Structure 1
Amino acid sequence: MSDPHRLAGRRILITGEDSLLARRLGEHFSRFGALLDVDPAPLDAGPPASPEEGSRMVHEAVESLGGLDVLINTGPAALPAELVPSSPRGLSLEGMEHALERSMSLLVSTTESAVREMGPGSSIVTTVLFASPPYLLTPEQEALTEAVLDTTRGWADILSSRGIRVNAVAGGPEWAAESLAGDDDVQEAELDPFVYLASRESRCVTGSVLGVARAYEHALEGIGGFRNR
């Protein structure tokens, strides 16, 4: 759908650790009339952001936009660099729990802060990875994917009574902008699931995952049986 008013008046904060995806979404959403605050916190810029960082981003977005209708979380998509295991055996169970806690901190704090500003009809979208041949996720990436999806499911169940929808978009390990250079049709098709979930068109959709691009069936198999409702 190319309706330039699909997101008209929707006040949207785009944040998370994938700064490239955040910028692309900001440019794409602007074509549909969205009111935007794009404030990514890239993972490679240092240690994971503190809970206070998530609260700050939401507060500034609400001040700038006059409220908040949509939150797009573009990560975490990877473990912090200092927590990536150097051993082929991977992280210990204790190390994995610590890594997941740190990686999820920005996602959780931002969402919890945003929920306090949202009313019925609002939408939250998280992003996750899936393995698409010839790429394979590491055990640590798989654990992080499961953590994001479990959290998304929990939020969807809890917030449905308040009329707030929570869904996920799954993309391959290389969501590479260079592969889309000069191809507006492909770019629109890849980013359109975000537009759909952010818009009022998906007002009856919650607790769902939309797979982007290739290997959609494989995506569902690879993320623990998460199914559309």
Structure 2
Amino acid sequence: MSDEQTLPPQHQDQQPGQETEMRPQPLTIGEYYQAAGKLDGMTAIVTGADSGIGRAVAVHYAREGANVAVLYLNEVEDAERTRLEVQAAGGEALLFAGDAADGEFCRRVIEAVIEKWGRVDVLVNNAGEQHPQQRLEDISEEQWEQTFRTNIFAMFQLTKAVLPHLRPGASIINTSSVTAYKGNPTLLDYSSTKGAITSFTRSLALNLAKRAIRVNAVAPGPIWTPLIPSTFDAEKVSHFGAETPLGHPGQPADVAPAYVYLASADSAYVSGQVLHVNGGIVVNG
């Protein structure tokens, strides 16, 4: 590869993408990560957990002592791999395939999790999709609505379903994006949803403060997940992350520890905040 090329050129024709088809495979957990039982006995729900950041969060949580409900759309092979990795890390996993923007699906998930483990301590709203277009006029109403449905409506539905079961000390963590802060000329609808997620996070944190439920977000920069080859053409993928100060894309393993921090007692005095894991991009947000 050239100095500016960060990845082998590749493309997948369908979203959600498949992690099993990616080369190189994303790194789920870092070689030097040291678990410390920060989530012992907890139960977490993670959306978009079949691959990418969601899988890495699920595996890190299992390493820290949590059981994990893995929500995904239809990526069965990837989701089964997440189950195996969670189990290998010492946790139990429940898999749920469906649309998190469907309120009835969310209610069924919560009922099953409560029946299995009797509690929910952490909700990670992570599922997302993006579809680049060169001009605003090229974005159809259907695309605009679908992106909002997946990226922010699902957060509303699942959070609403789980709230009656969250106790003081529980944590909600939403996945925002660097695009919410610096924009993106070809991801207008996606960036808009990420801005909404940041505002939702801050407002919900204020709303739930008296119930001692913390709400925070993580805003990743360019991270090597199935969303990338299923979104961009092979040429753009080959230079993915090169524009960051660190000069390369991050791995899911680089992001997941931020979710561990926000789920654990280490962040007991942190709410309404956004952690930026983006390769050195300064956004002052």
Q: What's the secondary structure of 1:190's corresponding residue?
A: helix
Alignment-derived partner of residue 110 in structure 2: 58
Alignment-derived partner of residue 192 in structure 2: 143
Match of 2:211 among 144, 147, 162: 162
Alignment-derived partner of residue 182 in structure 1: none
Alignment-derived partner of residue 198 in structure 1: 263
Alignment of 1:181-192 (within 5 A): 188-192=253-257
- RMSD across aligned C-alpha pairs, in angstroms? 3.4
Alignment-derived partner of residue 149 in structure 2: 102
Alignment of 1:105-120 (within 5 A): 105-120=153-168
* CA offset digits 1:184-223 (Å, max 9, x no partner): xx765431100000111111100000011413423x4xxx
Q: Please say if residues 38 and 64 of structure 2, whose CA atoms lie closer than 8 Å, have aligned partners that are also in contact.
A: yes
Q: What's the secondary structure of 2:139's corresponding residue?
A: coil
Q: What's the secondary structure of 1:116's corresponding residue?
A: helix
Whichever of the two has the greater Rg, that structure is 2
C-alpha deviation, 1:98, in angstroms: 3.4
Alignment-derived partner of residue 124 in structure 2: 72
Amino acid at match of 1:14: V
Q: In structure 1, what is the Cα distance between the partners aligned to 2:202 and 2:138?
A: 27
Q: In structure 2, what is the Cα distance between the partners aligned to 1:120 and 1:18?
A: 29
Q: Please say if residues 223 and 252 of structure 2, whose CA atoms lie closer than 8 Å, have aligned partners that are also in contact.
A: no
Q: Please say if residues 133 and 186 of structure 2, whose CA atoms lie closer than 8 Å, have aligned partners that are also in contact.
A: no
C-alpha deviation, 1:115, in angstroms: 1.0
Higher normalized helix content (fraction of residues)? 1
Q: In structure 1, what is the Cα distance between the partners aligned to 2:170 and 2:210?
A: 12
C-alpha deviation, 1:106, in angstroms: 1.6
Percent of aligned pairs sharing the same letter = 29
Match of 1:89 among 127, 137, 141: 137
Alignment-derived partner of residue 183 in structure 1: none
Q: In structure 1, what is the Cα distance between the partners aligned to 2:280 and 2:74?
A: 27
RCO higher in 1 or 2 (8 Å CA, sep ≥ 6)? 2
C-alpha deviation, 1:124, in angstroms: 0.3
Alignment of 1:25-64 (within 5 A): 25-41=57-73, 49-64=101-116
Query: Are 1:20 and 2:52 counterparts?
Result: yes
Q: What's the secondary structure of 1:72's corresponding residue?
A: strand
Match of 1:121 among 160, 165, 169: 169
Size of the aligned set, in residue pairs, is: 207
Q: What's the secondary structure of 1:126's corresponding residue?
A: strand
Alignment-derived partner of residue 9 in structure 1: 41
- Structure 2 gaps of 5+ residues are 1-32, 76-96, 229-239, 241-250
Q: Please say if residues 49 and 58 of structure 2, whose CA atoms lie closer than 8 Å, have aligned partners that are also in contact.
A: no
Pick which of 55-64 and 154-163 moved more. 55-64
Please identify runs of 4+ aligned residues in structure 1 that moved more than 6 A: 45-48, 94-97
Q: In structure 2, what is the Cα distance between the partners aligned to 1:17 and 1:31?
A: 15
Q: What's the secondary structure of 1:142's corresponding residue?
A: helix
Amino acid at match of 2:125: N
